[in-house]
């Protein structure tokens, strides 16, 4: 049995538009994010990205497509190819895009939202995914605003470790912000992770995970817009029995909401991004994960979030029953 660890990165890249405060995507952040990922040693087996556009005014107004119909993920992957080529290495990643929402004015695409997964094909083989129909988990607190609210999805992929064909699942998501249309939004000082809509989405997410992972190991990651100690975090690690990677390796105290920020806005610092697991995953370390604002991070200044980078192993599979 191959016991070599696996490595995963989850990163909200803010449409690769952080240089212009998220207003438009530029080529510089794509190139720098690609370069930062390529310097990780060992290379990640899976990279999960949040806030990735399809194609729109925002994604194209500054960085013009090199060919008609080019998506933002395709443009980013060209920078990844370029980075590996400059280092004299073959690029091992296959990219998958999971579209969430499309804001249009008539036929004009204003901006789009989505998730992406990059799979290292040297170490993993993709068995199946839900690219064509990502799971919608959005909770619409106000039905009249349903069409205007940004859709939230869960991207799912079942992969096989090439060395031994051991299967496991990857779930990538981005939960909503807390709704201001609920009474508890105004009744609490700390609002992130306290929204009733966020709890509804967390329940939909775990139901979807249970449906597809069954008894197999899984990792679920993304931007949960919920800090440790929040109701959403407590639900996921309590009722849903998920294991938090950072807590498991001693990087955070899960009772503290602001001790390890993963995102920043002006002077605000928030812990919004998480890596969870279940079904036989053991976390080994999160050594290259740095808090937001750490000047030593190779990802400093590339987004309003920092990536979470962790290694894990799959527990030994249960022996097959002989009847």
Per-residue pLDDT tens over the stretch 264-316: 988 899 999 999 999 999 999 999 999 999 999 999 999 999 999 999 999 98
Q: How many residues does the chain have?
A: 323
User: What band does 1 get if pLDDT is binned at 50, 70 and 90?
Assistant: very low
Whole-angstrom distance, CA of residue 292 vs CA of residue 266: 12
Q: Report yes or no: 50 and 12 within 8 Å, Cβ to Cβ.
A: yes
The mean pLDDT value for 210-232 works out to 97
The torsion of the CA quartet 51, 57, 63, 68, rounded to 10 degrees, works out to: 100
What pLDDT was estimated at residue 139?
Answer: 81
What pLDDT was estimated at residue 15?
Answer: 85
User: What band does 186 get if pLDDT is binned at 50, 70 and 90?
Assistant: very low
Handedness of CA 52, 57, 62, 68 (dihedral sign): positive
User: What band does 60 get if pLDDT is binned at 50, 70 and 90?
Assistant: very low
- How far, in Å, are 24, 79, 186 from residue 31 at the CA level? 15, 5, 41
Give per-residue pLDDT as tens, 111-137.
Answer: 567 999 999 999 999 999 999 999 999
What pLDDT was estimated at residue 53?
Answer: 87
pTM: 0.88
What pLDDT was estimated at residue 24?
Answer: 47
Whole-angstrom distance, CA of residue 62 vs CA of residue 289: 31
CA 219 to mean position of chain CA atoms: 11
Walk across the sheet containing 308-314 and list its strands.
93-105, 108-120, 46-50, 6-12, 308-314, 281-285
pLDDT above 90 covers a percentage of the chain that reads 72
Q: What is the residue-averaged pLDDT of the chain? A: 86
Looking up tokens 């909200």 gives 12
Whole-angstrom distance, CA of residue 312 vs CA of residue 76: 27
């Amino acid at each position: 049995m191959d016991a070599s660890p696996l490595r995963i990165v989850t990163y909200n890249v803010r449409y690769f538009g952080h240089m212009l405060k998220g207003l438009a995507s530029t080529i510089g952040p794509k190139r720098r994010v690609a370069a930062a990922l390529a310097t990780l040693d060992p290379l990640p087996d899976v990279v999960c990205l949040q806030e990735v556009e399809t194609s729109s005014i925002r994604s194209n107004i500054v960085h013009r497509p090199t060919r008609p119909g080019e998506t933002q993920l395709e443009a980013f992957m060209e920078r990844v190819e370029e980075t590996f080529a400059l280092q004299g290495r073959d690029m091992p990643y296959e990219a998958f895009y999971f579209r969430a929402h499309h804001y249009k004015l008539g036929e004009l695409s204003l901006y789009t939202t989505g998730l992406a997964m990059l799979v290292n094909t040297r170490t993993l083989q993709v068995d199946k995914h839900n690219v064509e129909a990502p799971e919608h988990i959005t909770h619409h607190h106000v039905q009249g605003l349903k069409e205007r609210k940004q859709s939230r999805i869960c991207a799912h992929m079942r992969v096989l470790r090439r060395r031994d064909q051991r299967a496991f699942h990857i779930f990538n998501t981005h939960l909503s912000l807390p709704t201001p249309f609920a009474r508890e939004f105004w009744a609490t000082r700390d609002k992130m992770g306290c929204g009733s809509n966020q709890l509804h989405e967390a329940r939909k997410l775990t139901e979807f995970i249970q449906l597809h992972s069954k008894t197999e190991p899984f990792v679920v990651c993304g931007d949960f817009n919920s800090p440790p100690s929040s109701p959403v975090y407590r639900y996921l690690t309590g009722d849903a029995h998920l294991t938090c990677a950072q807590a498991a390796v001693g990087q955070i105290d899960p009772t503290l909401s602001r001790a390890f920020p993963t995102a920043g806005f002006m002077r605000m610092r928030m812990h919004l991004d998480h890596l969870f697991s279940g079904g036989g995953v053991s976390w080994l370390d999160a050594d290259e994960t740095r808090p937001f604002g750490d000047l030593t991070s190779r990802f400093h200044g590339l987004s309003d979030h920092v990536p979470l980078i962790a290694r894990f192993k799959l527990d030994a599979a249960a022996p097959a029953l002989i009847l």
